[in-house]
Amino acid sequence: MLVDCYAREDVFAQVPELAAEIDPVLRTLDGLLDDDQLYQQVRADFGKRHRYTLVHGRHSTPVEVLLRMLILKHLYQWSYKELEGRVKDSLVLRWFCRVAFHGVPDGSTLWHWQQTLRPETLHTLNDRVVQLAKQAKVTKGRKLRLDATCVQTEIHHPTDSGLLVDSVRVLSRFVQRAKELVKDQVSNVQQACRSRLRTARQVAQTLHRQLRRKVEDKEAQQKELYQKLIETAEHMVHQSRAVAAALTQQTGQVAQRLLSQATKVLPLVEGVIAQTRRRVLEGKKMASEQKVLSLFEPHTRAIPRHKGGALVEFGRHVILDEVEGGIVTRFQILEHPNEHGQAVEAVEHHCALFEHPPNLVAGDRGIHSAETEERLKAAGVKRVAIPAAGKLSPERQALEHTRPWRRGYRWRAGIEGRIASLRRDYGWRRSGYHGQDGMERWLGLGVIASNLRHVAQATVTRAHNKQAA
C-alpha cells in the first residue's frame, strides 16, 4: 500500500517512555518536581530580582525551567557551561527541564537567577522535600543521627604576605576604576589613583626568596620586608579613603557601586594590616576567630581537623541531621566549630516535620552537653546514644556497654557515609558560590538534589520489586 508520509506525532509525547527506559530515576524526579509548593516558594524569590519583575519587562525564562536546571546542575555536579551544552544536546533533558524546542538559558542567566534565592527558601524547600519523602514512605522519622563536617571556601592558603598583596591589588583596582569619576574633585589625581601593585609584588617575591635562604639575621631582613609591604598597603588605604570621600558627593550608579565595594573591603584591609603588624613585627599571638583569612570570603574560619592530611581547613563547620532512608532533614552553618547542644535543635526541627519525636537520637561525643540527654528525654525521645564527655561514672559506663545503646551508636556511623556522599557527589567538599549566603545556597541545592534522588530511587526500587513479585 502506497503511503505519502508518516503520521504526524508530537515528539515530546514519546519522551517520557524513553526517559523511563534510559533513566527511571529521572522520570520519577520529574513527577516529584511537579509540586506546586516547591514552585511557588521559588517563584516568590525570583519575583524579587528587580522592582517590577512580576509585572513589567520582557518575558523571563520560565520559573520551572530555572528550578529544574538548577536541580540538574547539582544532581550531576555540572558547571553552568556543561549544563547548558548537555540540555541543548539531549531530548530527554529538554523534556525534563521543560525547555522543549525553546532556547536553553545560558550559564550567566542561571547564575543571576540563583543569586536571588534566599537561604531561608532553601531550608523551606528541603522541608518540603522531606514531606514528599514521608508521603512516598521512604522514611517515617523513627531514628535521627547527627554529625558535622568542614566545607571549604574557594580561597588560596592565607598568609600575611599574600593577604597584603591581595589588599594592594583590590584597592589599586578600585582607585583605577574611579579615576575618571573623581578627576575633577581630587587634587593630583595621578598620585591619588596610583597603583602600587607592582611594588607589593616585588617585595613579596623578595620575601619568598628570603624565606628559602639559610643566612644569618634572616628574621630581621624578613621584618624589614614585611614593614615595606605594610607601608605599601597603608598608602593604598590612604589613597582609597580620599577617592571614596570624593565618590560620596556623586549620585551616579557606577560611583555608588564602587563606593559600596570600597566600604566593604577597607575595614578588612585595615584588619589585615593590623594582624600582620601584631603577628610578624610585634611577635604576638592572635586568636583564630579574630583573623582575616580572605578579602573575598570574609566569613571563612580556620577549623582544626585533628586528623591525617591537612591539620587545618579553611571554610565553615556545617552540621547535618539524617533520618532513616538516607534523607537529610536539616543542615546549619555553625558560627563556631562547636557542636554541643545541637541535638536539642535537631529534635525540635524533627518534631515540626514529622509531628512526633524520634525513637532514637545518635551522635558522637562532640554533640554531647550537660543537659542534652535530659532535655531529649523530656521531649519524648526513648533512646539517646550519645557518648558522654569527660570522666565517666560507673553507672554511665555500664549504660554505654549495654546492647541497645551500642546498637544505636553503631547506627550513628552511617552518617559518615552520607557526609562522604555529599562531599563526593553533591559538592560539599568546597563551596562553589561566594559569601555565606552563597554557601547556604550551594549546600541547600546539594542536599535537595540528594534527597530527591533518594526518594526517586526508593520509588523505582519499590515499583520494580512489586513487578517482580
Q: Please report the pLDDT score of residue 2 as a whole number.
A: 54
CB neighbour class for 375 (10 Å; exposed up to 12, middle 13-18, buried from 19): middle
- Indicate the angle between helix axes 403-412 and 414-425, nearest 10 degrees: 0
Q: Which residues of 418-455 are buried (b: 16+ CB within 10 A; e: fewer)?
A: bbeebbebbbbeebbbeebbbbbbbbbbbbbbbbbbbb
How far is the C-alpha of 370 from the C-alpha of 92, rounded, in Å? 54
Q: Please report the pLDDT score of residue 31 as a whole number.
A: 87
Q: Please report the pLDDT score of residue 306 as a whole number.
A: 66
Q: Could you read off the pLDDT tens digit of each residue along the chain, which spans 469 residues?
A: 555 666 666 666 767 777 666 778 888 888 899 888 888 889 999 988 888 888 888 888 899 999 999 999 999 999 999 999 999 998 889 889 988 888 899 999 999 999 999 999 999 999 999 999 999 999 999 999 999 999 999 999 999 999 999 999 999 999 999 998 888 888 888 888 999 999 999 999 999 888 777 666 778 888 899 999 999 999 999 999 999 999 998 888 999 999 999 999 999 999 999 999 999 888 888 888 889 999 999 999 998 876 656 678 899 999 999 999 999 999 999 987 776 778 899 999 999 999 999 999 999 888 887 788 889 999 999 999 999 888 888 888 998 899 999 999 999 999 999 999 999 999 999 999 999 999 999 999 999 999 999 999 999 888 888 887 6
CB neighbour class for 390 (10 Å; exposed up to 12, middle 13-18, buried from 19): exposed
φ/ψ of residue 143, rounded to 5 = -130, 145
Tell me the three cell numbers of residue 13.
509525547
| Secondary structure (3-state) at 343 | helix
| Secondary structure (3-state) at 251 | coil
Identify the DSSP state of 366. G
Tell me the three cell numbers of residue 27.
522520570
Q: Please report the pLDDT score of residue 391 as a whole number.
A: 85
- The β-bridge partners of 333 are 318
Identify the DSSP state of 430. B
List the one residue out of 167, 157, 161 whose CA is nearest residue 279.
161
Q: Please report the pLDDT score of residue 35 as a whole number.
A: 87
CA distances 285 to 5, 195, 224, 282, 301, Å, are 83, 32, 19, 9, 17
β-pair type (312-323, 383-385): unpaired
Q: Please report the pLDDT score of residue 328 as a whole number.
A: 96
DSSP 10-74: -GGGSHHHHHHHH-HHHHHHHHHH--HHHHHHHHHHHTTSSTTTTTSSS----HHHHHHHHHHHH
Q: What is the CA radius of gyration of the chain?
A: 28
Q: Please report the pLDDT score of residue 392 as a whole number.
A: 85
Q: Please report the pLDDT score of residue 367 as a whole number.
A: 85
pTM for this one? Answer: 0.90
Q: Please report the pLDDT score of residue 338 as a whole number.
A: 72
DSSP 173-239: HHHHHHHHHHTTTSTTHHHHT---HHHHHHHHHHHHHHHH---TTHHHHHHHHHHHHHHHHHHHHHH
CA distances 19 to 66, 392, 448, Å, are 20, 57, 21
Our separate counts of H helices and E strands in the chain read 19, 6
Tell me the three cell numbers of residue 279.
603577628
CB neighbour class for 151 (10 Å; exposed up to 12, middle 13-18, buried from 19): buried
| Secondary structure (3-state) at 331 | strand
How far is the C-alpha of 252 from the C-alpha of 207, rounded, in Å? 42
Identify the DSSP state of 156. P
| Secondary structure (3-state) at 302 | strand
List the one residue out of 128, 85, 81 whose CA is nearest residue 109.
81
Q: Which residues of 279-316 are buried (b: 16+ CB within 10 A; e: fewer)?
A: ebeeeeeeeeeebbbbbebbbbbebeeeeeeeeebbbb
Specify whether the CB–CB gap between 456 and 28 falls below 8 A: yes
Three-state secondary structure string covering 412-424:
HCHHHHHHHHHHH
How far is the C-alpha of 84 from the C-alpha of 66, rounded, in Å? 12
